[in-house]
Amino acid sequence: MSLQEYQRKRRFDRTPEPAPAARGARSRRPIFVVQLHHASHRHYDFRLQVGDTLKSWAVPKGPSFDPAVKRLAAEVEDHPLDYADFEGEIPKGQYGGGHVATFDRGLWTTDGDPEAQLAKGHLRFEMFGQKLRGGWHLVRTHKAARQPQWLLFKERDGYAGKQQADDLLQDVTPPPGQAPPRPARKAARKRASAHAAAGDRWARRAARLEHARAAHHRPAFRAPQLAKLYQHVPDGDDWLHEAKWDGYRLIAQIARGKVRLWSRNELEWTARAPEIVAALESLGLYDAVLDGELVAGAGRQEDFGLLQATLSGEKNATLSYVLFDVLQIDDVDLARSPQYQRKALLAEILKNPPAHLVYSSHIVGRGQEALAKAIERGLEGIICKRADAPYHAGRSDAWRKIKQRASDEFAVVGYTAPRGSRTGLGALLLAAPDTAHGWRYVGRVGTGFSNELLGSLAAKLSKSSRAKPTVFVGVDDPELRQARWVVPRLVAEVFYHGFGNQGLLRQPSLKTIRADKRATDLGDGDAPAPKESNMPATRGSKSDSAPVELTSPGRVVYPDSGISKAQVFDYYRTMARWLLPEIQGRPLSVVRCPQGAARPCFFQKHHTAGMDRVQAVALEEEGGTRADYLLVNDEAGLLELVQFNALEFHPWGARADTPDRADRIVFDLDPGPDVAWPQVVQAARLVRARLAALGLASYVRTSGGKGLHVVAPLKPTSPWAQAKAFAHAFAESMAASEPLAFVATAAKKFRKGRIFIDYLRNGRGATSVASFSLRARDGAPVAMPLRWAELGRIKGGNAYDLVSAQRRMARMKSHPWGDYARRRQDLEGVGRALAGQGKQKAGRAPRKR
């Protein structure tokens, strides 16, 4: 039903009801209102905001708190949002004539799309008002009637009971001439008494903590303790390791049972999260101060946008308050008590938490395991806390954050004009705190924006913009000559890959605008330090935060096993957290199979039109020309290539910022057709032993084909000429010393009964398949990294496929290669050792006949 139907039934020159054109101020989150309507038949009007209107039902007897009682709810026409504020008399003779009074109002939420649920005939939702709280259901009946008939009933939860709507009319304005019902205060007094008793119990427990002291103030906002960014996880059992939740930090103040929520900047958020307020009130704490993070979904990086959209009213999601500290209980101040004791008390308080409250558990010691688990769950990283430390406002070494993917916060100091079809602005200009200049320009970010955000930022920033820089720039960039500058106030959180030329951010992408922070908050030691490097120019993808759209999901890609494009897409989405570190920041070639793996496929290494999420890096090719190479830095770029029918991913052995220097060497052990698998295994072990004798640690993976890859990581300081020469010499040395096992030439006539040790993948522009990549071969095999101890149990180079690879990695707590990402090895001196080793072996090699 539309607002035209609402307008058709009313004469607005005769009724005080709001006309549809009169638009009132919208709530940030969807509201509900229940009105008691004394019309020809007394009833309750039940209204839920869905979009820009109030979906409405007439409920004759009003909502019941008893889940066994199902109230009839007749669907009526939609009402304008302003109707939520309407009270008073509708004149007799007009549609709905009679007295209207507000029974209850507040916010409501549901998981997913409310319109879709209503269309299906079942809406499960929660309300957060003064009277109506907790879970409810609206279910459409199949009864034939003039108006659609629904049933409204309460969910069985902590707010269920025997009360009916008519029992709660004490504060509802009655029609003229009627006296209001007498107030009933017994229940309120009973709740207050229960809160005080619970508070006494927890206060006695809190007083037993070490260094607990008397609180000399009522519960109030406390400046939160903050974590410093570190690169490595601290060792030892002196540390607790928690998940790093991706949300908004909130301090909860409970005073005499009443809850207020505060952001880290002491802005009140109580009205923005009523479900959290209700959940905290149900704990029964009389006075308390708690610390935690407001999150949506599972609190992962990918859920942060959902949290913002829910708070702005654009989407619906369940919000949770993840609690990780308790600072005060009644008149006991716990800030000086050890961290582990505060958490133990909090765990007791949340032993049976109500909905929307979550205890943030931790691991003692075993920090690498904690980090691996966090990454496996899609979280950004972990927070490491010294177990015996007190609680201090601000940053200290006692709390450390370790992130998988670098993201930091910068001040917004200006913007560039949009180009082409883009609207609003082109890019945000960013700055970091600087001891010498106050603020230093660190680059611009132009990807990761929605169109709506572009428009709102442009409107906000243009009001106070100026032509001259407001911060120290220190770089010569023609793009900045026409830029507009603003005083640092807004904070942008940005993903990036370190700092490149002139100390500017490398490949930045907007994560979010931090509404809970100000630029002044960045001067407390959390700003990253720019480092100089020579990063070639990259061309970013278009700003679009929508998920990658998959076309032709049912098309069969692997005919032999019936695997569809949708299954390939799901595989790469599931395995992205393992695959992305293999290819991020590296020039990339892909194998594309538009007609499936059984039909002709082709290699692609250059960026092409239509790739919006895949970045490009301009690199010099032979002959001095430059070309745009594929560059993937996030899951969206990976999945876009899958949408473009990419099955295999082959990165360079160098990063895009140092394309002329190798950081890995790969030996591909490719067996001849008559070589048994145990010989391949033995050959890989022999290569490992020979590399170890030269001081090089190595790692092994199945190729997804017939053989194995042995990989040796390097410091990114080895010129390709040096790396290629070493790889060639090593392969020749292996072939010379073990001529019946190895051959170092690609010619097939020499490979009968032997294994080709392929060193040709080690050169500028050469690639090898990435770990966890599918192969365009029958059975959808996967290139799988292994622990050396596992190698003897593997039955072939194609031992893992699309299904078993996912099953294996779901069980893994960390990468099979362990410390590979941290190991840096130098080729200096290795070449001389190899030459000496070759001379020794040459004497034992058989002579040619």
Tokens matching residue 472: 């120290």
Cα 395 from Cα 296, distance rounded (Å): 25
- Phi then psi dihedrals of residue 196, to 5 deg: -65, -40
- Phi then psi dihedrals of residue 574, to 5 deg: -70, -40
Among candidate residues 55, 244, 343, 724, the one labeled active-site is 244
User: Cβ atoms within 10 A of the Cβ of 835, count?
Assistant: 11
Do 224 and 364 form a contact (C-beta atoms < 8 A)?
Answer: no
Do 201 and 284 form a contact (C-beta atoms < 8 A)?
Answer: no
Q: Which residues pair with 440 in a beta bridge?
A: 432, 472
Q: Is the dihedral of CA 601, 603, 608, 613 positive or negative?
A: positive
- Phi then psi dihedrals of residue 321, to 5 deg: -110, 110
- Phi then psi dihedrals of residue 140, to 5 deg: -75, 135
**In the annotation, is 343 catalytic?**
no
Q: What is the DSSP string of 73-129?
A: EEEEEEEEGGGGG--EEEPTTSTT-EEEEEEEEEEEE-SS-HHHHHHHTEEEEEEEE
Question: Rounded to an integer, what is the distance from CA 239 to the centroid of its chain?
Answer: 25
* DSSP conformational letter for 658: S
Do 484 and 462 form a contact (C-beta atoms < 8 A)?
Answer: yes
Do 299 and 245 form a contact (C-beta atoms < 8 A)?
Answer: yes
* DSSP conformational letter for 847: P
Question: Pairing between strand 225-230 and 394-403?
Answer: parallel
Cα 231 from Cα 244, distance rounded (Å): 14
SS3 string of 800-819? CEHHHHHHHHHHCCCCCCHH
Do 756 and 746 form a contact (C-beta atoms < 8 A)?
Answer: yes
- Residue 580 host element (H or E): helix 565-583
Do 833 and 694 form a contact (C-beta atoms < 8 A)?
Answer: yes
Do 124 and 154 form a contact (C-beta atoms < 8 A)?
Answer: no
- Residue 231 host element (H or E): none
The owner of tokens 């820089």 is: 469
Q: Which residues pair with 127 in a beta bridge?
A: 108, 134
The owner of tokens 């030459």 is: 835
- Residue 293 host element (H or E): strand 288-296
Residue type, 136: W
Do 503 and 442 form a contact (C-beta atoms < 8 A)?
Answer: yes
* DSSP conformational letter for 553: T
C-alpha dist (Å) from residue 771 to 99, 768, 775: 71, 9, 11
* DSSP conformational letter for 493: E
Residue type, 514: R
User: Cβ atoms within 10 A of the Cβ of 192, count?
Assistant: 14
Cα 485 from Cα 465, distance rounded (Å): 5
- Dihedral-angle region of residue 754 (phi above 0 means left; psi in -120 to 50 means alpha; beta otherwise): beta
Catalytic sites, residue numbers: 244
